[in-house]
Every structure is written in C-alpha cells, then in structure tokens.
C-alpha cells in the first residue's frame, strides 16, 4: 500500500514539474542577424529557458521557459543588459552603445539600411 502511495506522489510531482513550462511572446528591438544571434543566445543560456526564437521582421521573441526556474521579468532584464530594448525594459545607453554599428536599432539610418 505504501509503495502505491509513493508511486502516486512521484507521478504527481513529475506532472506538476511538466506543467511549469510557460510560453511568452514579446517585442525585442534589433535589426539584423547579429542581433538575432545575440538575443537568442542570451536567452537560451538562461537557466530555465528551453526554446528561444527571435523573428527579425516582426521583432517578436518567442520563448518556452520554466516558470519555477526563471521569471519572465528576469528574461527581459538579461536582454536589456545586452543592449536590446524589450517591450517592458529599455536598455541603458551604456549597454546599447556596446552593440556593433550595424545593430544600432535606435538609429533611423541603420534601420533604413536593413530594410
């Protein structure tokens, strides 16, 4: 009997862990393939992020992440620290200025060159 209770508890715990995955989509500013690589690599390296895909044309980042391991706001912060604005957090000028010249998405001339 105790064996069956223990098995039931373990199954319940594994189900709870599986249900902790969440999906999120939000805007991240950038203009090129280098931006795409930076945004995706930054997020996929975060503990708890399982899938990260950024679309250059729509500026949308699609994520699957474990809510028990990382909070969505922490993902926004990490992206902003690399110099990219999100729809919740604006990168500091210091972080933005570390971007390569072709990645300066706040510069209208750079944006125009990527269209």
Q: Domains in the chain, start-ordered, CATH in brackets?
A: 21-113 (3.30.70.100)
Please state the pTM of the whole predicted model: 0.82
Determine contact, residues 39/61, Cβ cutoff 8 Å: yes
Q: Which long-range contacts (CB under 8 A, 24 or more apart) does 36-44 make?
A: 38/82, 38/83, 38/84, 38/103, 39/79, 39/82, 39/84, 42/78, 42/79, 42/82, 43/75, 43/78, 43/79
Give the tens place of pLDDT for each residue, 59-108.
999 999 999 999 999 999 999 999 999 999 999 999 999 999 999 999 99
* Per-residue model confidence as pLDDT tens digits over 25-56: 999 999 999 999 999 999 999 999 999 999 99
Q: Which tens digits make up the pLDDT trace of 51-68? A: 999 999 999 999 999 999
């Amino acid at each position: 009997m105790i064996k069956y209770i223990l098995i039931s508890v373990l199954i319940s715990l594994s189900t709870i862990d599986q249900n902790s995955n969440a999906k999120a989509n939000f805007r991240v500013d950038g203009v090129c393939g280098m931006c795409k690589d930076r945004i995706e690599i930054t997020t996929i390296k975060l503990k708890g992020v399982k899938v990260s895909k950024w679309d250059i044309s729509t500026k949308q980042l699609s994520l699957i992440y474990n809510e028990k391991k990382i909070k969505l706001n922490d993902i926004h912060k990490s992206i902003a620290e690399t110099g990219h604005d999100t729809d919740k957090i604006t990168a500091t000028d210091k972080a933005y200025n570390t971007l390569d010249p072709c990645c300066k998405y706040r510069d209208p001339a750079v944006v125009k060159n990527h269209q």
